[in-house]
Amino acid sequence: MDYMQASTSFPDIDMEFDKNVPRICGVCGDKATGFHFNAMTCEGCKGFFRRSMKRKAVFTCPFNGDCRITKDNRRHCQSCRLKRCVDIGMMKEFILTDAEVQRKREMITKRKEEEAQRESQRPKVSEEQQKMIDTLLEAHRKTYDETYSDFSQFRPPVREKPTKRITRSSSVQTQNYSSDSDTFQSSPDVSESSFFSSALFGGLNGGSSPEASADLTMLPHLADLVSYSIQKVIGFAKMIPGFRDLTAEDQIALLKSSVIEVIMLRSNQSFTMDDMSWTCGSEDFKYKVDDVTQAGHSMDLLEPLVKFQVGLKKLNLHDEEHVLLMAICILSPDRPGVQDKALVETIQERLASTLQAYILCKHPPPGSRLLYPKMIQKLADLRSLNEEHSRQYRFLSFQPEHSMLLTPLVLEVFGNEIS
């Protein structure tokens, strides 16, 4: 049996040694590998001491019995080398017997097997799931411009000074709640009569509108912003793996029902809790609650919306989790008007299992604790926000003086319910 390979000497002692201090063998001055038999030594001197003790060797110094042992001459005088081993504290009692060596080998093998089994049972993000995540990240990058450079193309924001009709917004602003900018283009693979369908299978539809009324000065600008955001969400959805497998009618139904929810999810990236605003580049495009009220929205929507944004922000989602949540939001089989619910559900389940696997494998605790159910709860919150948002936009669309300020795309998406 090769004792040099099999025997060790209490490596736990080595853990107390300062790893920043150079380790020098106390016998010969070579690079030490740890504490062996109660002293810091190199592998060579460790093996020499073990062999000498097991053979009960007796050596005689050919010189004066006081040789200086170095890395280069340590084999010249075994007597002085062994004496040096004893002098620095090496003890034969620390040497393992053959039986102890065998037991230790078996324990090491068992630990490795147990670790390998635990590793095999540990959840992993599969190659297919990682490919899906990468696809969604790229889709988001292509359809979300973090520089907000396109905002300058909208009708300019016109802000009134705050009046009494929007004073409730102050409670929202002060309460402490616990890509590529190119327009996404696609081939006209399906022909539909509705404006929303042409947006789904075409490019960005602009459009000019008359100046805003005195009451809703921000409506034209925010209508442009919403219309632009709808186009970007459409582009994102079309790159979700499996989305194009659906019929054109189901694609339209899913997007009409979910688009505002995805816009709210996306807007969380520009939301700041410092002043409860959405900051999109310059001060001209910094939106506070007062600005949104000047576009016709009431606090019935804005208060829960701000609470939602704060709650979502506190989850500290990774980009991967954020894009998966948006995709899951779009691919919801219970949306009105969806015909092939089974196929939509299958796609959503793949997205959901990918999100769960990512959280387990890549999101460290404590942030990952109950993260998946918290994210799903956010989707439920979005349903309520979506309902209130649609109600308020339909109210605007019924008033000619206000509906003329909206874009055709906004009127098509929010002005009518899918029956």
CA 399 to chain centre: 43
| The one-letter amino acid at 202 | G
212-232 confidence digits (pLDDT tens): 334 688 888 988 999 999 999
Residues 95 and 201 in one domain: no
Residue-number span of the structural domain to which 62 is assigned: 3-120
Interatomic CA distance for residues 355 and 379, integer angstroms: 14
Identify whether the C-beta of residue 227 lies closer than 8 Å to the C-beta of residue 205: yes
Strand partners, 36: 39
Asked whether residue 46 is domain-assigned, the answer is yes
The tally of domains found in the chain comes to: 2
Residues 67 and 178 in one domain: no
Interatomic CA distance for residues 73 and 77, integer angstroms: 8
> Is pLDDT at 161 greater than 60 in this prediction?
yes
Residue 386 has what pLDDT?
A: 94
Residues 18 and 61 in one domain: yes
Residues 80 and 178 in one domain: no
Tokens linked to 276: 């409860």
List phi, psi (to 5°) of 236: -65, -45
H-helix segments, 150-284 = 169-174, 195-200, 219-238, 248-267
Asked whether residue 316 is domain-assigned, the answer is yes
Q: Which residue has the higher pLDDT, 184 or 406?
A: 406
Identify whether the C-beta of residue 307 lies closer than 8 Å to the C-beta of residue 273: no
- Read off the pLDDT band of 200 (50, 70, 90): low
Q: 3-class SS at 116? A: helix
Residues 81 and 211 in one domain: no
Interatomic CA distance for residues 45 and 24, integer angstroms: 12
Asked whether residue 176 is domain-assigned, the answer is yes
Asked whether residue 13 is domain-assigned, the answer is yes
Domain termination residue (choose one: 73, 101, 120): 120
Asked whether residue 340 is domain-assigned, the answer is yes
Sign of the dihedral defined by the CA atoms of residues 19, 20, 21, 25, in that order: positive
Identify whether the C-beta of residue 344 lies closer than 8 Å to the C-beta of residue 254: yes
Asked whether residue 303 is domain-assigned, the answer is yes
Identify whether the C-beta of residue 353 lies closer than 8 Å to the C-beta of residue 345: no
Strand partners, 31: 24
Domain termination residue (choose one: 120, 139, 173): 120
376-388 confidence digits (pLDDT tens): 999 999 999 999 9
Residues 131 and 99 in one domain: no
188-199 confidence digits (pLDDT tens): 333 333 445 555
Per-residue pLDDT, averaged over 85-109, amounts to 92
Residues 107 and 205 in one domain: no
Asked whether residue 419 is domain-assigned, the answer is no
Residues 44 and 176 in one domain: no
Instruction: Find the CATH number of the domain harbouring 88.
Output: 3.30.50.10
Secondary structure element (H or E) that encloses residue 391, with its range: helix 371-397
Per-residue pLDDT, averaged over 336-364, amounts to 95
Q: Is the peptide bond before 157 cis (omega within 30 degrees of 0)?
A: no
Interatomic CA distance for residues 55 and 35, integer angstroms: 22
- Read off the pLDDT band of 334 (50, 70, 90): very high
Instruction: Find the CATH number of the domain harbouring 160.
Output: 1.10.565.10
**What does pTM read for this prediction?**
0.64
Interatomic CA distance for residues 184 and 182, integer angstroms: 6
Residues 141 and 100 in one domain: no
Given the DSSP bridges, would you call strands 39-41 and 271-272 parallel, antiparallel or unpaired?
Answer: unpaired
Residues 199 and 316 in one domain: yes
- Read off the pLDDT band of 296 (50, 70, 90): confident
Domain termination residue (choose one: 67, 90, 120): 120
Residues 54 and 132 in one domain: no
Sign of the dihedral defined by the CA atoms of residues 92, 93, 99, 103, in that order: negative
Residues 215 and 250 in one domain: yes
52-78 confidence digits (pLDDT tens): 999 999 999 998 999 999 999 999 999
